[in-house]
Structures are given as structure tokens and as C-alpha cells.
Structure 1
Amino acid sequence: MRLGLHALGIGTGAHRGVIDAVAAAAEGNGFATLWSGEHVVMVDRSASRYPYAEDGKIAVPAAADWLDPMIGLSFAAAATHTIGIATGVLLLPEHNPVLVAKQAATLDRLSGGRLTLGIGIGWSREEFAALGVPFERRGERTAEYVAAMRRLWSEDVASFDGEFVAFDEVRVNPKPVRNRRIPVVLGGNGDAALHRVAAWGDGWYGFNLAGIDDVAERIGVLRELCREVGREASELRLSVALRDAEPGDVAALEELGVGELVLVEAPPEDPGDAADRVATLARRYAPVRG
């Protein structure tokens, strides 16, 4: 079982010294991936329901610092050598896909092929409105954006003619390190999100799940959706973050085919505390990781 750490980009995790210290400590203590999420804007009073909390409200204060994950992860990559970096998640339909393809390939190249592009379709109407992007049909927009980005990554001279994005005989360089492809992992815990994973995703990032039973039920749905589209669920990268994770959850997650448990932890305010904080977290899970 791999361990991921979702601790950078927000609040104290938006400070350069903390990013450097946490990233280096995570790599030194055997963590597999550093995850960082995104919101371009936040609002003080949102009418949109946050889907990952029972009360429908996001716990992050609207006034908190929230880094662009591509830029924040570039600093984490520069402070490390081998640990994976992942957006968890980038709200793809809010962005120009040609630009994201360029940014992602650049970060993948500079990090030595360490990037996983975790994406979501978004939940905040207010955020989409501020960016001038339609909230409706964002799922279809996301699927087309990914198809266009994969073409830009894989082909020297690429063309695409879709409903939401079109380009003709363009070159976007550099190309991703690993066979001109960056793994695209989808967030979202609902049936529609799992259908996207089964149809065209490289993996699933289940976030803030209530517990093992919740994970088991969701993976059962995902496996059935994979069967319907003729895919093997075993091909997918499965990463989950539990609401109250415990070391004893690892064996059950492995039985379900989960490859990575992502620990969501607030980073320290003082970079000098990062080494002990991350080492303590790693030691807590060491006996069950083997």
C-alpha cells in the first residue's frame, strides 16, 4: 500500500518554506505522492453545496490562501527528486485545455515524469460564473477537454474538432515524459463521476470517504461500470482519502484493490516542525505497510 499526502497549497501549506520542508520530509519518509487541490476563487456566502461534507459546506475558510496547484507543485517538485506530484483535483472545465496541456507537460518534463493530473468537474456555480464558464454540461466539457489534451500530448502536429474546443495542425511542446501521456485521475464520489472513470479515466481519487464500507460500495459500482464498457477495473489507479483514516484500514483497502491511501493533514506553521510531523505520520503507518 502506497501512502499519499494531501497537505500542500492551502493556508500554511501555501508558504514556500513549508512546501519545501513538507515535500522533502514526505519523500524522505517514503510517501508516494504529494497531492494539491484547487479553487480559483472562493466566496464568503456560497449557495452551492460542497459534495464532500455532510453539511454541504467546505471547511476551508474563504479568506485562506489557496495556491494554483500547477505552480505550487512545481516548487514541491523542485524540492524533491523521486516523489510523485498530483493535482487533487484541478477543476479542468474552468480552464483552457490547450493551456493546461502545455502546463501539465511542462511540469511533467521538469519533474522527470512525476505528474499525475487529477481532475474534477467542479461544484461551485459562483466559481464558474466568476470565470465566465457555463456551469451546465461541465461533465461533457471535461471529457472533451481530456480527449483534446491527450491528442496534443501524443501527436507532433495535432488537430481536434469538438463542440467545446477546436484547433487545427498545431504543435504543443514539450511532450510528457512517459510515452507522451500523463495519467488522468478523476475525482468525485458519485455515480456520474465513476462512470467517467470507467469510460475514459486512468484512475479514481475518492476524497473524504466516510469509511471502508463507503469505499467498498463505490468500488463495487466502479467495477460494474467497467464491465459495462469492457474495461478491467484492475487497470485503474485507485487512490482514496478517508474522513478519519486509521492504520487498521490499510489491509481492508488493499483487499478492495486500492493502491494508495491519501492522508489529509494540515501542514505545520513552522517549516522546522515539518520533519518531525511527517516522520511521526509515516511511523504510525509503517507496521501495516510492511
Structure 2
Amino acid sequence: MRLGLHALGIGAGAQRSVIDAVAVAAENSGFATLWSGEHVVMVDRSASRYPYADDGRIAVPAVADWLDPMIGLSFAAAATHTIGLATGVLLLPEHNPVLMAKQAATLDLMSGGRLTLGVGIGWSREEFDALGIPFGRRGERAAEYVAAMRMLWRDDVASFDGEFVRFDSVRVNPKPPRDRRLPVVLGGNSDAALRRVAAWGDGWYGFNLDGVDAVTERIRTLHDLCRDAGRDPEELRLAVALREVDPSDVEALADAGVDELVLVELPPDDPGAAADWVASLARRWMPAVG
């Protein structure tokens, strides 16, 4: 099993010096992936329910700095050489898919093929309203956007005629360096989210799950949905972050089929303390994950 770190882009993790220090230390300590999530808009009092907490409220304060993950991860890429980079998650229906295809391929190329594009459909109606994007049918919009982006990455001259996106005989370069493909993993813990993974995803990022039993149940459901969709679940990359997790849980998570355990942590404000902070995480977790 690999070990990922979801620590960049918010609060202290939005400081350039902290990003550099954490990224370098994580690579040196053997972490597999640096994850960074997204919200374009936050509001002081949201009527939308946050799906990853029992009380329906996101723990990140609305006043916190929250970087654009594509830009933040580009700085992490420049500071490192081998560690993977992943959006966890980018809210794809909020973006123009042609522009996002170019941005993602650019970051993937500049990082030497290290990007995983983690995408979600979003939960905040206020955010969609602020961006002037319909909140309804965002799942269908995301599916079509990914199909269009994959075509732009693959084809020298691409055309697409969908409900939400259309283009004719366009060239979008650069291409992703790994066989003109970018792995697209989907966030979300609901049955609907897992159906999207089974239908068109390259993997799943389960976030803030409530323990090993919850992970195991969701993966079993995903396997059933894959069989219904005629897909081999072994083809999928499965990454999970838990609300509370202990090194003693690693074996059970591996047995359930988890490929990467992602630690969600807040880095120190002082970049000089970042290396010791990452090293302390590595000392605790690396023996368990091997």
C-alpha cells in the first residue's frame, strides 16, 4: 500500500514556503502522492449540506486561504522530482473542459507525467450560483466533460458534440506524456458517486470515511457496480482518507483493496518545522504501509 499526504492548498498549506518544504520532505520520506482539493467560493453561512461530516458543515473556515489546486500543485511539482500529484478533488462541472484539458496536460507534462486528476461534482449550490453554472445535472455534466477531455488528450484533431460541450476539429496541445492519457479518479462516497466510478472512472478517492468497516462496505458496493457495468474492479486505483485512522488499520485496509491511504493533515505555519513534521508522520506510518 502507498501513503499519500493531503496537506497542501489550505491555511498554512497555502504558503509558498510551506508548500516547498512539505513537498520536498514528503518526497524524501517516501510518500507516494501530494493531494490538494478545491473550492472556488466559500460562504459564511451555507444552506448546502457538506456530505463528509455528520453535522453537514465543512470544518474549513470561510476566511481561510484556499489555493487553486492546479496552480498550487505546479509549485509542488517544481520543488520535487518523483512524488505524484493529485487534485483531491477538483470540482469539474465548475470548469470549462477544453481549458481544463489543456491545464491538466500542461501540469502533467511539466511534472514529468506525475498528475492524477481527481474530480468531483460539487455540493455547494452557493458556489455554482456564484459561478453562473447550473447546480442541477452536474453529474451528467462532469461525465460529458471527462469524455470530451479524454478526446482532446488523445486526438491530434478533436471533435465533440454533446449536450454541455461542443467543439469541431480543434487542436489542444500539449498532450499528456503517458500515452496521451491522464488518470481520472472520482471523489464522493455515495452510491451515485460509486456508479460514476464504475461507469467511467480510473479510480476512487473516498474522503473522510468513518473507519475501516465503512471503507470495506463502500469497496464491496463498488465491486458490485463494476460487475454490473462489465468492468474489472482490479483496474481501478482506490485511495481513501479516514476521519480517524491508526497504523494498526493498514492491514485491514489493504485486505479490502485500498491502494493508497491518504493522511489529511494540517502542516505547521513555520516552513522550518515542515521537514520534522513530515518526518514524524513517516516514522509513524511508513513501517505499517511497508
| TM range, smaller chain | over 0.9
Secondary structure class of the residue paired with 1:174 = coil
| 1:14-163 equivalences in 2 (<5 Å) | 14-163=14-163
| Residue 287 of structure 1, CA deviation | 2.1
Matches within 5 A, 1:158-197: 158-197=158-197
| Separation of aligned partners in 1, 2:116 and 2:246 | 25
SS in structure 2 at match of 1:133:
coil
**How far does residue 289 in structure 1 lie from its aligned partner after superposition?**
2.2
TM-score by length of 2: 1.00
Deviations 1:157-189 (A, max 9, x none): 000000000000000000001000000000000
TM-score calculated relative to the size of structure 1: 1.00
Over the matched positions of the two proteins, sequence identity in percent amounts to: 79
Output the CA distance in 1 between the equivalents of 2:182 and 2:199: 17
Could you say what secondary structure the match of 2:241 adopts? strand
- Once residues 121 and 11 of structure 2 are traced to their aligned partners in structure 1, the CA distance between those partners, rounded to angstroms, is 23
CA displacement at 1:249 relative to structure 2: 1.0
Partner AA of 1:34 in structure 2: L
* 1:288 Cα deviation from its structure 2 partner: 1.5
Kindly state the Cα deviation for residue 250 of structure 1 after the two structures are TM-superposed. 0.7
1:224 and 2:224 are equivalent in the alignment: yes
For structure 1, the 5+ residue unaligned runs are none
Alpha-carbon deviations, 1:112-163, whole Å to 9, x = none? Answer: 0000000000000000000000000000000000000000000000000000
Q: Which amino acid aligns with 2:111?
A: S
After the TM superposition, which segments of 4 or more aligned residues of structure 1 sit over 4 Å from their partners? none
Q: Separation in 2 of the partners of 1:248 and 1:15?
A: 33
Distance 1:284 1:183 in 2: 29
RMSD (Å), alpha carbons: 0.4
